[in-house]
Amino acid sequence: MVAGWAKFLPYSDVRQLAHAIDTGDPITVEYVATSGNRTVRTLSRLMLDPPYLEAWCHLRDAERVFTLSRIHGVMPA
């Protein structure tokens, strides 16, 4: 399901994101905001709600909602 919404992610990143959602492991993502600004965010408590990913953002120290198509990279936290 992640692959259909995360259009800019290579298959390996889709797998890593899906695994983190399934296991509850934290991840770090490269995210492009609607303004075009790129940020790197560490996320935990992931909940998939296509086309969104709800998560705890450690940068903002708050719950945030991320659009899956704006995630451009995934790596271990």
The alpha-helical segments, DSSP class H, found in the chain are: 2-5, 11-23
Q: Are 51 and 6 in contact (CB under 8 A)?
A: no
CATH of 2-76 among 3.40.50.300, 2.30.30.100, 2.60.40.420, 3.30.1050.10: 2.30.30.100
pLDDT at 17: 96
pLDDT tens-place string over residues 33-61: 999 999 999 999 999 999 999 999 999 99
Percent of the chain with pLDDT over 70: 100
Domain boundaries, given as residue ranges, for the chain? 2-76
Prediction pTM value: 0.92
Please determine, for residue 1, whether its predicted confidence score (pLDDT) is greater than 90: no
pLDDT at 55: 98
Average pLDDT, the chain: 95
